[in-house]
Amino acid sequence: MTFQDLILGLERYWAARGCVIAQPYDLEVGAGTMHPTTFLRALGPEPWNVAYVQPSRRPADGRYGQNPNRLYQHHQYQVILKPSPDDIQDVYLRSLGALGIHLRDHDLRFLEDDWADQTLGASGVGWQVFLDGQEISQFTYFQQAGGIELPSIPVELTYGLERIAQFVQRKDNIFDLEWAPGITYGEIRREDEFEHSTYAFEKADVRMLRDTFAANETEAGRLLDAGLVVPAYEHVLRCSHTFNLLDARGAVGVAERASLMARCRTLARRCADLYLKRREELGWPLLRTRHDAA
Amino acid sequence: MPRKPSTRSGESSRAGARTGAPVRLVFEIGTEELPPQAAWDGARQLADGARKVLEAARIGAGDVRAVSTPRRLTLIVEDIALRQSDLIREVRGPAARVAFGADGRPTPAAEGFAKAQGVPVSALERRATPQGEYVYAVRREPGERTRAVLETLLPQLAGELSFPKSMRWGTGTVRFSRPVRWLVALLGGQGVACEFAGVRASRKTYGHRILHPAPVSISSASAYETTLRQSFVVVDPEERRRQIIDAAVRAAGEIDGRPILDPDLLDETVQLVEWPEAFVGHFAEEFLALPREVLVTVMQHHQKYFAVEDAVGRLLPAFVGVRNGNRQGLATVREGNEWVLRARLADGRFFFDEDRKRRLEDRVAGLADLVFLDRLGTMADKTARLERLAGSLVRLLRLSGSDEELLVRAAHLSKADLVTQMVRELPELQGVIGAIYARADSEAAAVADAIREQYLPRGTAFPESSIGAYLAIIDKVDTLLSALAAGITPSGSQDPYGLRRAASGIVAVLLRREIRVSLDALARETGVLPAGADGERVLEEWRGALRQRVRAVLIDEGISYDIVDAALAAGADDLVDAASRARALWEFRQTAAFASVYTAFDRASRILPDGAHGEIREELIVAPAERTLLGSLRAVEEDARAWTRLADPTTHGAAPGAEELVRRYRAALEKLATLAGPVDRFFEEVLVMDPDETIRRNRFALLAGVVGLIRPIADLSRVVVGEGKAAASS
Q: DSSP labels for B366-423?
A: GGGGSBSSTTS-BHHHHHHHHHHHHHHHHHHHT--HHHHHHHHHHHHHTTGGGGSHHH
What is the nearest CA distance from A140 to chain B, expressed in angstroms?
A: 10
Instruction: Read off the pLDDT band of B314 (50, 70, 90).
Output: very high
Cβ of residue A49 closer than 8 Å to a chain B Cβ: no
pLDDT, residue A114, reads: 92
Answer whether residue B6 is part of any domain.
no
Residue B17 has pLDDT above 60, yes or no: no
- Whether A195 and A214 map to the same domain: the answer is no
Give the Cα separation of B47 and B570 in Å (integer): 45
Section B218-227 average pLDDT: 97
Residue B647 has pLDDT above 90, yes or no: no
pLDDT, residue B649, reads: 65
Domain boundary among B230, B249, B270: B230
Chain A residues with CB inside 8 Å of B170's CB?
83-86, 152-153
- Whether A190 and A229 map to the same domain: the answer is no
Residue B729 has pLDDT above 90, yes or no: no
The DSSP letter of residue B494 is B
- Whether B530 and B572 map to the same domain: the answer is no
- Whether B472 and B445 map to the same domain: the answer is yes
Residue B648 has pLDDT above 80, yes or no: no
Give the Cα separation of A81 and A89 in Å (integer): 12
- Whether A209 and A279 map to the same domain: the answer is yes
Residue B472 has pLDDT above 90, yes or no: yes
Q: Determine which helix (DSSP H) or strand (DSSP E) holds B83, and give its type and residue range.
A: none
Prediction pTM value = 0.81
User: Would you tell me the crossing angle of helices B532-556 and B575-589 to the nearest 10 degrees?
Assistant: 40
- For chains A and B, CB pairs below 8 A equal 110
A107:B325 CB<8 A: yes
Strand partners, B678: none
Answer whether residue B7 is part of any domain.
no
Structural domain boundaries, residue B134: 87-141
- Whether B430 and B297 map to the same domain: the answer is no
- Whether B217 and B103 map to the same domain: the answer is no
- Whether A127 and A266 map to the same domain: the answer is no
The DSSP letter of residue A201 is I
pLDDT, residue A258, reads: 76
Answer whether residue B5 is part of any domain.
no
Query: Could you say which residues from 171 to 190 on chain A have a Cβ atom under 8 Å away from some Cβ of chain B?
Result: 172
Chain A interface, best mutation among B275, B340, B342, B382, by max A CB count within 10 A: B340
Task: Compare CB distances from B336 to A67, A132, A257 and report the shortest one's residue.
Answer: A132
- Whether B157 and B306 map to the same domain: the answer is no
Give the Cα separation of B701 and B633 in Å (integer): 12
Percent of chain B predicted with pLDDT > 90: 65
- Whether A57 and A175 map to the same domain: the answer is yes
- Whether A157 and A270 map to the same domain: the answer is no
pLDDT, residue A255, reads: 63
Q: What is the CATH number of the domain that holds A115?
A: 3.30.930.10
Cβ of residue A152 closer than 8 Å to a chain B Cβ: yes
Give the Cα separation of B583 and B572 in Å (integer): 14
Backbone angles phi, psi at B21, to 5 degrees: -70, 155
- Whether B444 and B475 map to the same domain: the answer is yes
pLDDT, residue B132, reads: 87
Residue B560 has pLDDT above 70, yes or no: yes
Is the bond leading into A24 cis (omega within 30 degrees of zero)? no
Answer whether residue B345 is part of any domain.
yes
A104:B333 CB<8 A: no
- Whether A67 and A163 map to the same domain: the answer is yes
Section B218-241 average pLDDT: 98
- Whether B605 and B717 map to the same domain: the answer is yes
- Whether B91 and B80 map to the same domain: the answer is no
Structural domain boundaries, residue A267: 205-293
- Whether A210 and A194 map to the same domain: the answer is no
Instruction: Read off the pLDDT band of B615 (50, 70, 90).
Output: confident
- Whether B212 and B155 map to the same domain: the answer is yes
Chain A residues with CB inside 8 Å of B33's CB?
109-110, 112, 127
Residue B317 has pLDDT above 90, yes or no: yes
Answer whether residue B442 is part of any domain.
yes
Domain boundary among A178, A200, A222: A200
Task: Mention every residue, 6+ apart, whose C-beta is less than 8 A from residue A135.
Answer: A128, A129, A160, A163
Query: Could you say which residues from 183 to 202 on chain B have a Cβ atom under 8 Å away from some Cβ of chain A?
Result: none
- Whether A38 and A173 map to the same domain: the answer is yes
- Whether B542 and B616 map to the same domain: the answer is no
C-alpha pair distances (Å), A33 with each of A4, A76, A78, A138, B188? 21, 10, 8, 11, 49
Answer whether residue B4 is part of any domain.
no
Percent of chain B predicted with pLDDT > 70: 94
pLDDT, residue A42, reads: 96
Domain boundary among B230, B261, B288: B230
B33:A127 CB<8 A: yes
The mean of the pLDDT values for chain A is: 93
- Whether A144 and A260 map to the same domain: the answer is no
* Helices and strands: H and E segment counts in chain A: 9, 11
Backbone angles phi, psi at B535, to 5 degrees: -60, -40
- Whether B570 and B677 map to the same domain: the answer is yes
- Whether A91 and A113 map to the same domain: the answer is yes
Section B527-533 average pLDDT: 85
Residue B727 has pLDDT above 50, yes or no: no
- Whether A165 and A31 map to the same domain: the answer is yes
pLDDT, residue B3, reads: 52
Query: Could you say which residues from 115 to 174 on chain B have a Cβ atom under 8 Å away from some Cβ of chain A?
Result: 165, 167-171
Section A32-45 average pLDDT: 96
The mean of the pLDDT values for chain B is: 90
The DSSP letter of residue B461 is B
Cβ of residue A290 closer than 8 Å to a chain B Cβ: no
Domain boundary among A166, A200, A234: A200
Strand partners, A21: A51
Asked which of B23-37, B40-54, B515-529 is least confident by mean pLDDT, the reply is B515-529
Tally of domains within chain A? 2
- Whether B33 and B112 map to the same domain: the answer is no
Give the Cα separation of B165 and B378 in Å (integer): 31
Q: What is the pLDDT of residues B413-425, one digit of tens each?
A: 999 999 998 998 8
Domain boundary among B508, B540, B556: B556
* Helices and strands: H and E segment counts in chain B: 27, 17
Residue A294 has pLDDT above 70, yes or no: no
Domain boundary among A200, A224, A246: A200
Instruction: Read off the pLDDT band of B724 (50, 70, 90).
Output: very low
A104:B328 CB<8 A: yes
Give the Cα separation of B181 and B201 in Å (integer): 10
Tally of domains within chain B? 5
Answer whether residue B432 is part of any domain.
yes
* Residue B182 Ramachandran class (φ > 0 left, ψ -120 to 50 alpha, else beta): beta
Answer whether residue B401 is part of any domain.
yes
Cβ of residue B276 closer than 8 Å to a chain A Cβ: no
